Amino acid sequence: MDGMLQPPAATAFDAVGSLVSLAVYLGAAALMLARRPREPAPRVFLAVALTSAVPYVMSALQWWKGSGVYRPATIALTAAAFSIGSAALFHFTQVFPWRRPWITKYGRWLIAAYVVPVLPVALAAWILGAVMMEMQAANTGSGGLGAVSAGLTEVLGLLSGLPALLLIGVVLPLSGVMSLVKSWQESKQTSNEPARVTTFWMLISQLAGGVLAVLVLPLLNFIGVPPIWSTIFAGLAYLFALILPFAYVNTSVS
């Protein structure tokens, strides 16, 4: 039971992988901004890179200082960064490799996607972090888990974050993938080979990397597989995540 109440342990491999990934994302964003300063896609990709800095740095800090870095405030900060980053990644798929019809007609809703979910998601993460800390303390003390109870305010705070979490964790990522699929199909139909190749690799990055990061790695941690397998799958997750910035930098889409 103790292990379920602790965040997954970060290894030196996780720390190096996180910092390398962060450097690649920031480097790709800076390079594309220098190449195409007037286009919207590089600016949006910079937002994706900057928001990814929080979880990547947290992973490195966890390896350096231990799981104590995950306090309610840092958990809330990570959740807020994930919220903005999810909106930014969806935004990116709406302006690259070209402007999609959705953003032309409903672009104003992007402002709401950036702003509205941040507070409820961060609040729910703060409350959940505080409750988990209480559970850890109770589990190691004499009170037991029965001594921990969430009040009405905490329950309402967690419930208020569920719709926002559904938006940033499911709706926006799936919508972004579907936008890439549409762009890939259109580029194939028009024989736009650079766009077809780039969107294909971006789809691979989002689909394979997302499945590994969201489903496979947490499951491996939960069932307690040998560390070597967790390291292998973590390496694959980092590799697939890096396909996106590399595909973007190497694109010749005009």
Q: Once rounded to an integer, what is the mean pLDDT over residues 7-34?
A: 89
Q: Find, among 206, 201, 209, the residue nearest to 251 by Cα.
A: 201
DSSP string, the chain: -TGGGSPPPPPHHHHHHHHHHHHHHHHHHHHHHHH-TTSHHHHHHHHHHHHHHHHHHHHHHHHHH-GGG--HHHHHHHHHHHHHHHHHHHHHHHHSSS--HHHHHHTHHHHHHHHTTHHHHHHHHHHHHHHHHHHHHHHHSSS-GGG----HHHHHHHHHHHHHHHIIIIIHHHHHHHHHHHHHHHHHHTT-HHHHHHHHHHHHHHHHHHHIIIIIHHHHHHHT--HHHHHHHHHHHHHHHHHHHHHHHT----
Rounded to whole angstroms, the Cα distance separating 194 from 237 reads 25
Q: So where are the chain's domains?
A: 3-249
Cβ count near 83 (within 10 Å): 29
Which comes out higher in pLDDT, residue 3 or 127? 127
SS (H, E, C) 126-171: HHHHHHHHHHHHHHHCCCCHHHCCCCHHHHHHHHHHHHHHHHHHHH
Rounded to whole angstroms, the Cα distance separating 106 from 99 reads 12
Amino acid 101: pLDDT: 94
Q: Once rounded to an integer, what is the mean pLDDT over residues 235-250?
A: 92
Highest mean pLDDT among 26-40, 53-67, 132-146: 26-40
CA 42 and chain centroid, separation: 18
How large is the C-alpha radius of gyration of the chain? Answer: 20
Q: Are 79 and 124 in contact (CB under 8 A)?
A: yes
Least confident of 62-71, 110-119, 158-167, 219-228: 219-228
- Judged against a pLDDT cut of 90, whether residue 103 lies above it is answered with yes
- Judged against a pLDDT cut of 90, whether residue 100 lies above it is answered with yes
Rounded to whole angstroms, the Cα distance separating 192 from 108 reads 29
Rounded to whole angstroms, the Cα distance separating 138 from 136 reads 5
| Mean per-residue pLDDT of the chain | 85
Q: How many Cα atoms are found within 13 Å in the side-chain-facing hemisphere of 190?
A: 11
What's the predicted TM-score (pTM) here? Answer: 0.87
Amino acid 157: pLDDT: 73
> Considering Cα of 232, then 233, then 234, then 237, what sign does the dihedral take?
positive
Cα angle value 110/203/249 (rounded, 5°): 80
pLDDT digits (tens, 9 = 90+) for 123-178: 999 988 887 777 666 555 545 444 445 566 777 778 888 999 999 999 999 999 99
At the topology level, CATH places domain 3-249 in Rhopdopsin 7-helix transmembrane proteins (1.20.1070)
